[in-house]
Structure 1
Amino acid sequence: MRTSTVGDLRILLPELDPDDLDTISDPSDDLSDGTIENASWHGLTLDDVTVRGSRLIGVDVSESSWEAGSLFGCEITRTDFSGATLSGLSIERCAVTGSRFTGTRLTDIRLKDVLFEGCRFDYATLTRVTAAGAVAFVDCVLTDATWSSCRLSDAVLRSCQLARLELDSCHLHGADLRGNTLHDLKTALGNLHGVTLDEDQLPDLTHLAVTELHLTVRKR
């Protein structure tokens, strides 16, 4: 069993042997124990599709609609979900690396033991995304994204770009936001209730408080 530790979070990840996997390209096939490389699923409608124990490498899922189904025990690398609509998916025990979610709409997504590393979520919309277990974002671009009614308690964000990330009615209690710049977040302070910060982030937090409370700060 492969694990990754981010901050105090231990994430269970898949350990796949490429030699044990079949080559797959058609999303209507059995998507278990396979390698799906450079396949084009652009603009497809994927209803209740489940991918298990597989590697997705360079797959084009952009502008697609994927409703229900799941990703379980998968390694997802350099895969393009730009402009896709993902709804009602369960994503568990997955390592997602160098993938693009630019402008993606993720709604009612359940995450458990998921590591996003070096991924782009700029202009993405996350609505009612829930962490049912360990979730981490490392070196990810989250600029101009919107998180609405998300429950990502105990999640870890490390070295992420958060400029103009908008948080609305989110529950992040216990989330570890150390190592990120918070100055340009678009959020009410209530969305940060119970998060963990480091001392270097306190000036950013002060800036957010001054903005939310419409304070006027003047020199004597």
Structure 2
Amino acid sequence: MDSTTLGRVTVTLPRLNEPGLYLSNVTTLESARGLVQDFQYGDADLRDLDLAETRLITGRVTGLRADRFQLDQVRLDSVEFDTCDLATTRITDSKLSRVVFRNCKVMGAAVTGTTLDNVLFDNCKLDYSTFEQVRATGPVAFTKCVLVEASFTRCDLSNAVLDACVLRLTEFGRGKYQGLDLRGNDLTTLRGVANLGKVLIDRTQQAELAEALIAELDVTFADTLDDR
């Protein structure tokens, strides 16, 4: 079974290259039975892709472009999204297991009430995305992702990994972040630093966190005051 290790986390990847596995080309991810399995779907340009109470098992989605992409109460098992442009993405009350988003543009996404288990975001643009009540029940990693002004609120990202990501004005609201691995990132412009108790950093990042905290507190340095 394929896997990738980032920091102290090993993410199990979708099982798409096993001997004897054949992925059938499909023209839609919608199904009257609510189940699409062993599939390959891609190079589609859609206005809307709205899936509810659906299960996608063992498949690959490539080159998908959608103006509106919505998953509501959807279960994804062993699915890979590669080089997709998913504008106005909404993922609610869903479960993702052994899922990879690779080279995808998912800017401004809203992910709510969703659980992640062995999920990898690799080289994705996730600017302005909001993650609310998202829970990592297994390994989760973001590597080489852009998360400018993204926010995490009431999330449980315990033991997750953010590796070589752009975290400019990325905000961490109240949540559980014990063991969250932030090594290998520039932390100077993080927001919500006071909520990041028990995270994992390198010693060289102490000054970066301090700079972020000082900016957040909006303190005034005495030597910058005009003499009176």
What is the TM-score when the length of structure 1 is the normalising length? 0.92
How far apart, in 2, do the equivalents of 1:66 and 1:40 lie? 17
Q: Among residues 25, 30, 52, which one is paired with 1:23 in the alignment?
A: 25
CA 1:140–1:90: 2 relative to 1, 3 Å? same
How far apart, in 1, do the equivalents of 2:25 and 2:52 lie? 22
1:101 aligns with 2:106: yes
Query: Structure 2: where are the runs of 5+ without partners?
Result: 224-228
How many percent of aligned residue pairs carry the same amino acid?
A: 29
Q: Among residues 197, 208, 219, which one is paired with 2:212 in the alignment?
A: 208
Opposite residue 152 of structure 1, the aligned amino acid is L
Displacement of 1:110 = 0.6
Q: Is the 8 Å Cα contact of residues 90 and 109 (structure 1) preserved in structure 2?
A: yes
User: Where in structure 2 are the equivalents of 1:169-180 lying within 5 Å?
Assistant: 169-180=174-185
**Residue range with higher mean Cα deviation, 208-217 or 83-92:** 208-217
Q: Is the 8 Å Cα contact of residues 69 and 88 (structure 1) preserved in structure 2?
A: yes
1:88 aligns with 2:93: yes
Query: Structure 1: where are the runs of 5+ without partners?
Result: none
For 1:52, the equivalent position in structure 2 comes to: 57
Q: Is the 8 Å Cα contact of residues 74 and 94 (structure 1) preserved in structure 2?
A: yes
Instruction: List per-residue Cα deviations over 1:125-146 (Å, max 9, x = no partner).
Output: 1111110000000000000112
Q: Is the 8 Å Cα contact of residues 149 and 169 (structure 1) preserved in structure 2?
A: yes
How far apart, in 1, do the equivalents of 2:134 and 2:46 lie? 23
Displacement of 1:46 = 1.5
How far apart, in 1, do the equivalents of 2:102 and 2:27 lie? 20
1:163 aligns with 2:168: yes
1:195 aligns with 2:199: yes
**Residue range with higher mean Cα deviation, 35-44 or 145-154:** 35-44
Report the aligned-residue RMSD.
Answer: 1.9
Displacement of 1:109 = 1.2
Q: Is the 8 Å Cα contact of residues 73 and 94 (structure 1) preserved in structure 2?
A: yes
Displacement of 1:68 = 0.5
Q: Is the 8 Å Cα contact of residues 121 and 143 (structure 1) preserved in structure 2?
A: yes
CA 1:49–1:80: 2 relative to 1, 3 Å? farther
How far apart, in 2, do the equivalents of 1:48 and 1:39 lie? 22
How far apart, in 2, do the equivalents of 1:179 and 1:4 lie? 17
How far apart, in 1, do the equivalents of 2:99 and 2:164 lie? 20
Secondary structure, counterpart of 2:152 in structure 1? strand
Displacement of 1:170 = 2.5
Secondary structure, counterpart of 1:27 in structure 2? coil
Q: Is the 8 Å Cα contact of residues 41 and 64 (structure 1) preserved in structure 2?
A: no
Secondary structure, counterpart of 1:150 in structure 2? coil
For 1:122, the equivalent position in structure 2 comes to: 127
Higher strand share: 2
**Residue range with higher mean Cα deviation, 15-24 or 64-73:** 15-24
1:39 aligns with 2:44: yes
1:3 aligns with 2:3: yes
Secondary structure, counterpart of 2:47 in structure 1? coil
Secondary structure, counterpart of 2:211 in structure 1? helix
Q: Among residues 128, 136, 141, which one is paired with 1:131 in the alignment?
A: 136
For 1:112, the equivalent position in structure 2 comes to: 117
Secondary structure, counterpart of 2:118 in structure 1? strand
How far apart, in 2, do the equivalents of 1:10 and 1:45 lie? 31
CA 1:8–1:218: 2 relative to 1, 3 Å? same
